[in-house]
Amino acid sequence: MDMPHTSTAMLRLDTSLLRLEPYPHLISDEMLEPGAFEALRKAFPDTSIFEANRRHTLAAGRASRINLGRGDPLFDRFLSECPVWRAFFEEMNSPAFIARVYELFGDALATHQSRLHAQPYQFYEHVTRPPTNLAYRALNRLGAIEAFDRLRAAFDSNKLCLDFDIAWARNGYATEAHTDNRNKLIAMLIYFGETGGSGGEFQVLKLKHPQPLSQCRRYPSDAELDVVTTLAAKPNRGLILLNCNNAYHAVTPLVGSDRPRQFMYLSVGSRYKAPIW
């Protein structure tokens, strides 16, 4: 199918690069307009900013990654002092970007069994913040929050919002094979530099023995998967994927690098925790 190139002021989505197997995704070595990318790269937060935010490290192999993310006062301060990153964030956090997402992946929502298929959606200005209340955490572990969100989502319009992280990772960073949270519609990654050593690569994965989408687990074992594509960190290389139930991906362990892995990650997802798949 001949599909046109689409872009906003900074982001390029060359829809001719769209791949449908093993799940809909697009890989580009020029994800941003070159001039815009260079401006963002030069203004990428330095190591000291991330080190100051070390309390936001993640668990296990992800502990070598630090996010400067939406909802964090340090993120807000950085945007207030950096016009080019503020402009890029505002471009992404917009109805226009979500319209681009639907232009790219809308036809796949039915075939990949999203409840958003043929449903109107609404851009919603919302900041996702991790819960700190102990009672909320307990209810979340018991599934009560998701159950309540399912009820709210059933009686509400499909409110879609953006999560946005500028990220930095050192040696040891890795993620297991997984799909993102079931309330996410898409995920996007853009690299802002190269790494040394080995690893730190993004892998597109597929099941060796395909299963119905409704039976695909979020965390399959490595033995169940084959590697389809491996993406090394490269300036302006990026990927955007539809987060359907078989959108498996992983990051290989970063080893022996003399520089951090610099990247940004964003997702568009439901305002609610209830699954959209």
69-86 pLDDT, tens digit per residue, is 998 889 999 999 999 999
Number of H helices, E strands in the chain: 8, 14
Q: What is the pLDDT of residue 55?
A: 56
Is 70 exceeded by the pLDDT of residue 104?
A: yes
| CA nearest neighbour of 180 among 63, 275, 58 | 275
Higher pLDDT, 58 or 194: 194
> Mean pLDDT, to the nearest integer, of 133-140?
68
49-72 per-position pLDDT tens digit: 888 776 554 544 566 888 899 988
Q: What is the CA radius of gyration of the chain?
A: 18
In angstroms, the CA 250 to CA 200 distance is: 10
User: Mean pLDDT lowest for which of 144-153, 195-204, 263-272?
Assistant: 144-153
Provide the domain limits for residue 235.
Answer: 7-270
For residue 47, being part of any structural domain is answered with yes
User: What are 136's two structure tokens?
Assistant: 């909320």
The total number of structural domains in the chain stands at: 1
Across the range 145-173, mean pLDDT stands at: 83
**SS3 helix, strand, coil % of the chain, rounded to 5?**
30, 30, 40
Instruction: Report whether 104 contacts 185 (CB < 8 A).
Output: no
- Answer yes or no: is 276 within a domain: no
pTM > 0.95: yes or no: no
pLDDT of residue 1: 34
CATH number of the structural domain spanning residue 235: 2.60.120
Does residue 263 form part of some domain?
yes
